[in-house]
Structure 1
């Protein structure tokens, strides 16, 4: 398996509905579940499936993504042969919603020429799921497919494609003659000459494409049945390791149905919420149905309900912020909210 399947992650996608959370980062680097980034899911799935060569194709705002992944050491991808590769797009104004852009791949065609893996799995970067790709490869080979598109059980495409690396190279090289610009163009063309198959995935999977979707998917993690479908002991979701002290709970604090990462200081009430590393919550503060990202500081006697705080946000004492499940109140990274800005 190590030399049969190549991992290709398209990290160019930008969703306008996530703008408030993507001003300083790419979608792939969006924090999720307190201590992960969204790309951790597909990357971990690839590594858990025995893939030892993964190419990531980002476009813009990818500094935080590169900082998170580094050399790939946490995923055992810091290797002398194969490993983790970054290929930023030279086309700044290209459409970032076409998974597997052949123009982007063409700029790095030598990578595919040198690859020894017979097959390639091409995936988006923003799906929350836990999948073993090995059964799909076996099914693909036995079915005699040219291209296998992975579908979710509801029938929709998951924007993941399995293809022979040699055929992928051919599609890249002939893109100007065929007019095919990405994998989606081929599978949606009724006049193609390829044997295209659909593989149905029956597990839990959500594609993050809006603030509402991001918020609801995050809140659903607080349900034990959904958590168990994503975080499987035999197929762990791997992330960047950070050595931080345990969270400290001050006398009088209260936590119910919440995920609290390391390094926090909790002095108030936290219910039905996800709190990332290094967050400080003051005495008398009430946090309900919220996503609080890394190193936020919420001072005493604040009230937050259905709020998303991006990293390094400070909320002054006595501030009240309220959103809804369909329209959570979003505070951008590094900003400050004062008591006079109550809503």
Structure 2
């Protein structure tokens, strides 16, 4: 075992209900973001920067969209012909409901196998729906210095930045400099601040294996990030404060807001102009074409796009077409969307390969984002 090496286990089984129809055929980690990325790119980029060689992706269903995007992991320099690499374990949802379906393999069999073969001394465990840019090397350094069982990555949020559901699920109570416990509801400080965990944990592989053994004995079957919260009271906990931008993508409104947040330079800088580059799978395509009559302001526009109409405060992914006299305001258009002449889109999310006919209107509001599912055909009235 290489004492200071790190492996990683990433949970891609989070509840997608409040993000439908965008998550009908993809996990949250597979959602497009900021015109050219996927949400999983942020976690994979952080792992790559930390020189993590072995990554286990535990996926709820088949994971086809994730396989297509990640492939060998070469885009993040996570491929390896000698040791390590990206390993995928699918159908976790079924396995959780049938934890003893195989007399030789329980629910945690693949977790144990991955950890034991990783040749690592430490494991970084995380979910996959947080947009952030975390220096895992700094997390390791603090973990070693403080000599606690588990280091929890957390952030100070303004109370008005987070939902009641987030405070219920991720609240942290400190006792001095140490984390005392996770709580079902966190009480804001006098300054209106709350400490919320980012669903990221750092611990030794040996400690993780011990927790898996205990969970098996107790017949507790959870994803590892959930399991660490479950057994938190039996561990000494250290907190690592993350100070950059972070967003928990668990609803349509959160997904929309996180994309729109990037139109603010301070937010963009916090995510993309740090020492940790955000990487993604490269896709070859033509530069975007802006027709002489086009008007584009305060927007992210992916490659291979054709714009002849008006686009303001919007995020356009690759291969989008916005025809003459069409108007796109405060919206997100995913890959391959075609907006016909004179069409109007406001406060909407349009999933990939959707055709909006000439003259059609999709009008939402800041508190009522309209969502059009993949491969739809929107007609004019």
TM-score (normalised: structure 1): 0.92
Corresponding residue of 2:187: none
Distance 1:179 1:197, change over 3 A: farther
Match of residue 17 from structure 2: 16
Q: Are the aligned partners of 2:95 and 2:107 in contact in 1 as well (CA < 8 Å)?
A: no
1:113 pairs with 2:153:
no
8 Å CA contact 2:3, 2:121 repeated in 1: no
Provide the TM-score with structure 2 as the length reference.
0.83
Unaligned segments of structure 2, at least 5 residues = 98-105, 158-194
Between Structure 1 and Structure 2, how many residues are aligned?
A: 333
> Residue deviations 1:140-176, cap 9 Å, x none?
1111110111111230111111110111112112213
Q: What is the alpha-carbon distance in structure 2 between the residues aligned to residue 104 and residue 36 of structure 1? A: 32
Contact 1:26 1:61 in 2 (8 A): no
* Map 1:44-63 → 2, pairs under 5 A: 44-63=45-64
CA contact (8 A) 1:180 1:186 kept: no
- Alpha-carbon RMSD across the aligned residues, in angstroms, is 2.0
Residue number in structure 2 paired with 1:27: 28
Q: Kindly indicate whether residue 180 of structure 2 is the aligned counterpart of residue 156 of structure 1.
A: no
Q: CA deviation at 1:329?
A: 0.6
SS in 1 for 2:42: helix
**SS at 1:242's partner residue?**
coil
Determine the structure 1 residue equivalent to 2:303: 262
Q: CA deviation at 1:204?
A: 1.0
Q: How far 1:226 moved relative to its partner?
A: 0.4
The CA distance in 2 between the partners of 1:297 and 1:334, in whole Å, is 11
Structure 1 residue 90 displacement after superposition: 4.7
Secondary structure at 1:235 match in 2: coil
Aligned partners of 2:62 and 2:90 also within 8 Å: no
| Cα offset, 1:65, TM superposition | 0.8
Q: CA deviation at 1:284?
A: 0.2
Instruction: Give the Cα separation in 2 of the matches to 1:2 and 1:46.
Output: 17
Measured at CA, do residues 179 and 200 of structure 1 come closer, stay the same or move farther in structure 2, by a change above 3 Å? farther
Q: Return the offset for 1:187.
A: 3.6
Mapped pair 1:309 → 2:311: no
2: CA distance, partners of 1:181 / 1:199 = 27
1:329-340 mapped onto 2 (5 Å cutoff): 329-340=370-381
Alignment of 1:1-150 (within 5 A): 4-80=5-81, 81-92=83-94, 94=96, 104-150=107-153
For the residue of structure 2 that corresponds to 1:71, the secondary structure is: coil
Once the two structures are superposed, what CA deviation does each residue of 1:62-121 show, in whole Å capped at 9, x if it has no partner? 1111100111111112211111111113542748xxxxxxx7543342221111110000
Aligned to 1:98: none
8 Å CA contact retained: 1:295, 1:311: yes
Q: 1:28 to 1:61 in 2, by over 3 A?
A: farther
Cα distance between partner residues in 1 of 2:48 and 2:303: 25
Alpha-carbon distance change, 243 to 206 in structure 1, aligned in 2, over 3 angstroms: same
Mark the CA change 1:90 to 1:153 in structure 2 (over 3 Å): closer, same or farther.
closer
- Per the TM alignment, residue 188 of structure 1 is displaced from its structure 2 partner at its CA by 5.2
Output one character per residue of 1:279-332: Cα deviation in whole Å (capped at 9) or x when no partner.
011100000000000011101001110010000000000011111222211000
Question: Which of 192, 201, 224 is 2:242 aligned to?
Answer: 201
Q: What secondary structure, in the 3-state scheme, does the structure 1 residue paired with 2:143 have?
A: helix
Deviations 1:42-66, CA, capped at 9 Å, x for gaps: 1101111221221111111511111
Equivalent residue number for residue 188 of structure 2: none
Q: 1:61 to 1:305 in 2, by over 3 A?
A: farther
